[in-house]
Chains A and B, each alone.
Chain A
Amino acid sequence: MSQNVTDPQTLIAEEPTDESAANRARVSATRLLRTLLRNGKAVAGLSIIVVFIVLALLAPVLFPGDPARITSAGASTPSLQHWLGTTTKGQDVLGLTLWGARSSLFVGFAAGIFSTVVGVLVGLSGAYFGRGLDEVLSLVTNVFLLVPGLPLLVILAAFMPPGLGTVIVVLVITGWAGSARVMRSQAMSIRGKDYVAAALVSGERPLRIMVREILPNMASVVMTTLLGCIIGSIGAQAGLEFLGLGDVNTISWGTNLFWATSDGSLMLGQWWIFVPSGLAIALVAFALALCNYAVDEITNPRLRRPKHATKSTAATTVVRKEEK
């Protein structure tokens, strides 16, 4: 790969390009963060997520003791004593929802982060080393993308010993392929850039090139992928637990919904039992989607909404400014 350019003059000429690549990457990453904080959607999304994380962390303070303990008669409607009412068994719904946030957010973020990391590793090494390795990795990625996620989740979770660890592992197995595909195509385009060629001829090691030159320039794509993976993981976890394949003894939004259905609260019209957990899942996913949307808008200005409604084929506007 490095044989193409052997002229020492070129090496010298490329040296500054190499440095500015790393610089540019750092600048673009910080600028992305700064611009994000000025974007309304991003701020709204981040605020919602922060609120949920704080509530999850404070659950033992706000709601001390075992949230699954029975505190009143079954299925009482929301009241001053139980703000969100109680389940059919007589557990406090608010307590279950707050405590549920802990494992739901933990599993969602952990599985999302691991999936992204696996995706980055597979995508980057495929794109960087190319040829045989890339072919094999792409093939495996595409197979995993194609195999329907939920049934795969089900058989994996069914055979593995129940527990949070299993859920995370299973979610990563079904979730990494999507991010690997995005990472690969992004890394491929950066791989072809001049500053990577420059780093190659100046004899940098592959790992350093991948981590220092390529990865920082993918900041926004890594970010959107991470957000997407977390959204996917939270949803998949909920689906898995709803089927009873999680650990039904841990409290999470998914198991709350599982118990709500298996106790028949839906059929009995006890909406307060199943609404909070589902709403919480939706709010977190929506907040993450808002952040995602914001990153997209920042990196692709064409997606920003114009101030005025405009038809795509409209002719050029003529504004007559009288005499100036």
Chain B
Amino acid sequence: MSVPVLEVQDLTVEYVSDERAVRGADRVSFTINSGEIFGLAGESGCGKSTIANSIMRLLKDPARITNGKILFDGKDVLGMDEASLRAWRWNNVAMVFQSAMNSLNPVTRIGEQFVDVIRTHRGGSRAEALSRAKELLQMVRIDPARLRAYPHQLSGGQRQRIVIAMACALNPRLLILDEPTTALDVVVQQEILEQIRELQTELGFAILFITHDMSLMLELSNRIGIMYGGRIVEMAPSEVLRDDSSHPYTQALLGAFPPLHGPRVKLTGLAEGTKFTDIQDLEEISQGHWVAPTNQPALSQGELS
């Protein structure tokens, strides 16, 4: 096996209020190897984004990490102080957020937003940073003249490309993509995915890909973890998961999305009313295929329309 870039072990994140604590993520463990695309899928609120944000330690106050370890290249991320955390962010792990529309500062030129991240981490002159920014824009096929533009002058797809280019600015080892295409239309979605794949082949970073869209997920990822209620219920290589999923929730999720390619199939939708409680730790049922044991029967296909 190749070298792990990111190891998440037993990560538990709680949102603490006066009365109670809600677990956003519960004893979540997974590993991402260098150059690998690992996908996390699940419905809204299952804890995917909580995981993404806690890896970079971006979660805010009522949230705290109460258990577990996050190792990046063997370094303990949870033990870093503010300064080393700052130096580590973007340099090693960059992130593309859910809404392309809003992740760029609306009142500063695109170029400035490249310059400030490059100069903060690499130093150098403004001119050097700008010429690097030009290269990056060319990489995502956007006219370098757009560096003088403000975000509102660009389309949603262009903005997301720019954010992706910005994420590549420092050659990170890991790129976190948190639903990078949700706000975009299907055609642009495909273009962006293509772009990501291309950049990944060229630059060789690993990807943590988060989405609720199973067809996108199967298309892009090497390995996939399915999350439900803050826990991972199944984890396997994409093909195994597609053809041989074992957890009823995974099957329900797979049934809820049309495949991007291949024949049309009847959609089943997520079975409402089916709740999985007390999810057990994962067990390896075959090489690299982990499943949480469940006593519930698998959902019958086609019951809901």
Contacts and interface: CB of A to CB of B under 8 A. Distances in A.
Direct contact of A and B (CB under 8 A): yes
Contact of B59 (A316, A320, A321): A316
A79 interface: no
A303 to B, nearest CB: 14
Interface residues of B, number: 17
Interface string A311-324: 00011111111000
Contacts of A319: 64-66
B61 A318 contact: no
B54 A321 contact: no
Contacts of A315: 57-58, 80, 82, 85
B155 interface: no
A318 B76 CA distance: 12
Contacts of B53: 316
Contact of A321 (B57, B63, B67, B85): B67
Nearest to B64: A317
A306 B67 CA distance: 23
Nearest to A317: B64
B65 A317 contact: yes
Interface in B28-78: 53-54, 57-61, 63-67, 78
A318 B82 contact: no
Contacts of B57: 315-316
Contact of B65 (A310, A314, A316): A316
Contacts of A310: 60-61
B161 to A, nearest CB: 27
A316 B67 contact: no
The secondary-structure label for the interface of chain B is mixed
A306 B61 CA distance: 9
B270 to A, nearest CB: 22
Nearest to A312: B60
Contact of A318 (B58, B60, B65): B65
Nearest to A323: B67
Contacts of B63: 316-317
A320 B85 contact: no
A306 B16 CA distance: 12
B67 A320 contact: yes
A160 B67 CA distance: 73
Interface string B218-242: 0000000000000000000000000
B12 to A, nearest CB: 8
Interface in A268-320: 306, 310, 314-320
A59 to B, nearest CB: 44
A321 B58 contact: no
Contacts of B65: 316-319
A202 to B, nearest CB: 29
B78 to A, nearest CB: 5
A314 B81 CA distance: 10
B83 to A, nearest CB: 11
Interface in A164-219: none
A274 B60 CA distance: 50
Contacts of B82: 314-315
Interface of A: 306, 310, 314-321
Interface of B: 13, 53-54, 57-61, 63-67, 78, 80, 82, 85
Given A315-B85, A317-B61, A321-B67, 12 more contacts: A310-B60, A310-B61, A314-B60, A314-B61, A315-B58, A316-B13, A316-B60, A316-B65, A317-B63, A318-B65, A318-B78, A320-B66
14 contacts: A314-B61, A315-B57, A315-B82, A315-B85, A316-B53, A316-B54, A316-B58, A316-B64, A317-B63, A317-B64, A317-B65, A318-B64, A320-B67, A321-B66
